[in-house]
Amino acid sequence: MKRLVPLTIAIVAGFTLIIAYFFPIAQQWSDNVQEWFKILAVGAMVLGGGNLIKLHLKKVSAKRKGWGYSMVTIVCFFGVLIVGFLKVGTPPNTNYPDYVWSGYYLQEGSGVWWIYLHMIVPLTSMMFAMLAFYVATAAFRAFRAKNIEATLLLVTAGIVLLGRTYAGVWLFDAWLPESMLWLRFDNLTEWIMNAPNTAGNRAIMIGIALGTVATSLRILLGVDRSYLGQD
Amino acid sequence: MLLSVAIPILMKVSFPEEVSPQTRMVFDVIENLPDGSNVLLSYDFDPASEGELLPMAQAFTRHCCAKGHKQYYMTLWPLGSPMVDKSLDTIRSEYPDMIYGEDFVKFDYKAGGEVVIRVIGTDLRAMFPLDSSGVSLDELPMTKNIKNLQDMDVIVNVSAGDPGTKQWVQFASTPYSLTTVSGCTGVQAPQMYPYIPEQLAGVLGAIKAAAEYEQAIAEKYPEIASNPSAQEAKRRMGPQLIAHSLMVGLILLGNWIFFVSRKRGEA
């Protein structure tokens, strides 16, 4: 039963969605399955949150390496959860002023809005901005013309890097004859993206799609049961 | 790297932009729609990608406003809602004649990613019975006759990853033959090109394409060109030029050191 029930659910849901795609008459079944997905997704979110807390609490109680970071995670998790659930500082919705909790949780002035503006925005922006420094050091340390493939990659990267700026135009405009303007880095970048990149990516995508179809069929027919985990 | 980004920003260095064919394709999709068409804008990004994608999103908003299109905003990302709010603020401050509920509307974030797209593909109210301010869609003039995604003339997706453009292509553009354009990060752009021109009518890749889009709008609508807020992407092309040049310089320097040390090793 432990394996049969989830297996049956997966098979029924999967085939319902496939049938609904080809036969519009079965659209309502597909809508029902997707409603169930939404309900289960909420349950999964609770399970995920519970699991996160369990793991970090274990780490803190055992005082394993980095337990301080786990403590920060737990405090932040419950902090945001409480502020969000209680809608701390959130004014009521202007359409329903008599209902205290009717306001939008991210409304300007609310607690979650403050956390968002003063913590999430600067932290996530900082993480993204750090990439620039990593990329710059990686460019110096790792981009080496060691063989033909690496040289091709290097030349392509150089053209695209300059082609995505005004340098791609400015370097050539003064001396390149009009008949050779296709050699300008911005035009070469466009060609690289449209021809070799598109061809390569299409081949990869077709391969992935065929693999996905094969794997999906294995799951739907109950041949592949690895997603059910170990007994 | 810090200086190469900071100095051009502080000195307000900017460069002229030429509109590339790819950007022109995206611009024409919005431009060639009859005035007052329905445009769904899904902002599937968060503050981490705001620097790269918000100027593009704002350019889409201004273009739609200039054309008088009806704009339906939504997001598939939990932190995408404040990004949408920034576009709504732009509409309210720069286009005061546009009225919420008649010319633009916002739907709140709903969890589920591609499932959200699948559901609204057949029934918008199953996922969004209310707008973000809690008003029933039946009470808003611009939504009361909208049944599902198929009532949209164009889908504009500004995407930083999954769920994003790929899911819109798979679950909206392809099954319902909806015209879809995408604005995405530089990392994502190469993966989106294979969808052109059938599943995607065009792709704007990163800040460079956003700057070109701003240029295309400025050429067509001079009143927008005089607005400094509408030049955010162009302003960022200065730091991009210097930073990219620095990286090319570092690559050349690294290779020069590599070849010199290899030669010495062989000797």
Read off the pLDDT of residues A21-60 as tens digits, 9 standing for 90 and up.
Answer: 888 888 888 888 888 887 888 888 899 999 999 999 999 9
Cross-chain residue pair B208–A164, CB shorter than 8 Å: yes
Q: Which range is most confident: A5-19, A113-127, A213-227, B91-105?
A: B91-105
Does the CB of A202 have a partner CB in chain B at under 8 Å? yes
By the CB < 8 Å criterion, does A175 face chain B?
no
Strands in B180-184's sheet, in edge-to-edge order, are B104-106, B70-74, B38-44, B154-159, B180-184, B202-205
Per-residue confidence at A102, pLDDT binned at 50, 70, 90? Answer: confident
Number of A/B CB contacts below 8 angstroms equals 140
Q: Which residue of A18, A37, A119, A143 is the best one to mutate when testing the B interface, meaning the one whose CB has the most B CBs within 10 A?
A: A143
Q: Which residues neighbour B193 within 8 Å (Cβ) at sequence distance 6 or greater?
A: A193, A194, A197, A198, A201, B203
CB of B30 within 8 A of CB of B67?
yes
State how far the Cα of B262 lies from the Cα of A225, in Å rounded to an integer: 52
Burial class from Cβ neighbours inside 10 Å (0-12, 13-18, 19+) for residue B26 reads buried
Per-residue pLDDT at A2 exceeds 80: no
Interface test with A, best of B248, B257, B258, B260 (most A CBs within 10 A): B248
Residue B34 DSSP one-character state: P
**Lookup result for tokens 């609508």:** B221
Task: Note the pLDDT of residue B266.
Answer: 61
Q: Of B88, B174, B101, B166, whose CA–CA distance to B136 is shortest?
A: B101
Which residue is closest to B176 within chain A, CA to CA?
A21
Where exactly are the structural domains of chain B?
18-229
Alpha carbon of B251: minimum distance to chain A alpha carbons (Å) = 5
Average pLDDT over residues B154-179: 94
Contact B118, B93 (CB under 8 A): no
What's the confidence (pLDDT) of residue B178? 95
Token pair for residue B215?
């240029």
B102 pLDDT higher than 90? yes
Nearest CB neighbour to A201, from listed B115, B190, B254: B190
Q: Identify the CA nearest to A115 among candidates A74, A69, A76, A71.
A: A76
What's the mean pLDDT in A72-80?
A: 95
Contact A164 B108 (CB under 8 A): no
Averaged pLDDT, B83-90: 94
Q: What's the pLDDT at A40?
A: 85
Chain B residues within an 8 Å CB radius of A96: 134
Higher pLDDT, A169 or A69: A69
- Of chain B, the percentage scoring pLDDT greater than 90 comes to 68
Subunit contact A190:B21, Cβ cutoff 8 A: yes
Give the per-residue pLDDT at A100.
Answer: 82
Mean of all residue pLDDT scores within chain B: 92
Mean pLDDT of A114-131: 88
Whether B248 contacts A158, CB under 8 Å: yes
Taking the mean position of all CA atoms in its chain, how far away is CA A22? 29
Which residues does chain B have within 8 Å of residue A94's beta carbon, measured at their own beta carbons?
133
Report in angstroms the alpha-carbon separations of B58 from A41, A148, A172, B44, B207: 32, 43, 32, 14, 12
Nearest residue in chain B measured CA to CA from A135: B247
Q: Of B214, B230, B236, whose CA–CA distance to B93 is shortest? A: B230
Q: Average pLDDT in the B77-81 region? A: 89
Query: In terms of CA atoms, which chain B residue is nearest residue A118?
Result: B47
pLDDT above 70 as % of chain B: 99
For A67-81, A194-208, A210-224, which range has the lowest pLDDT when averaged over its residues?
A210-224
Q: How far is CA B104 from CA A62, B38, B86, B214, in A?
A: 53, 10, 13, 21
Please, how many CA atoms are within 13 Å of residue A196, restricted to the half-sphere of its CB? 9
Question: Residue ranges of the alpha helices (H) in A86-176?
Answer: 111-115, 121-141, 148-163, 167-173
Q: Which two tokens stand for residue A182?
A: 């296709």
**pLDDT category, A5, cuts 50, 70, 90?**
confident
Round the average pLDDT of chain A to a whole number and report it. 88
pLDDT band at A230 (very low <50, low <70, confident <90, very high): low
Q: β-strand B70-74 against B104-106: which pairing, if any?
A: parallel
Closest partner residue to B1 (CB to CB) among A94, A132, A186 is A132
Q: CB–CB of A125 and B248 under 8 A?
A: no
Position A231 scores a pLDDT of 54
Which DSSP helix (H) or strand (E) runs through B39? strand B38-44
Chain B contact for A165, CB < 8 A? yes
Over residues B201-221, the mean pLDDT reads 94
From the candidates A39, A161, A182, A194, which should be mutated to test the interface with B, based on the most B CB atoms within 10 A? A161
Determine whether the interchain pair A120/B47 forms a contact, defined as Cβ–Cβ distance below 8 Å: yes
On chain B, the residues whose CB falls within 8 A of the CB of A140 are 250-251, 253-254
pLDDT band at B159, cuts 50/70/90? very high
Which chain B residue shows the shortest CA-CA distance from A94?
B133
Residues of B in contact with A202 (CB under 8 A): 194
Residue B67: per-residue pLDDT: 95
Q: How far, in Å, CA of A146 to CA of A152, rounded?
A: 10
Q: What is the ipTM of this complex?
A: 0.83
By the 10 Å C-beta count (0-12 exposed, 13-18 middle, 19+ buried), B1 is classed as middle
| B155-169: average pLDDT | 95
Which CATH code for domain B18-229? Answer: 3.40.50
The structure's pTM equals 0.87
Predicted local confidence at residue B256, as pLDDT: 92
Whether B267 shows a pLDDT value over 60: the answer reads no
Residue of B nearest to A204 (CA): B191
Name the most confidently modeled range: A52-61, A96-105, A112-121: A52-61
3-class SS letters over B102-113: CCEEECCCCCCC
E-strand ranges in A35-102 read: none
> pLDDT at residue A229 above 80?
no
Does A125 sit within 8 Å of B48, measured CB to CB?
Answer: yes
Q: How many CB atoms lie within 10 A of CB A101?
A: 12
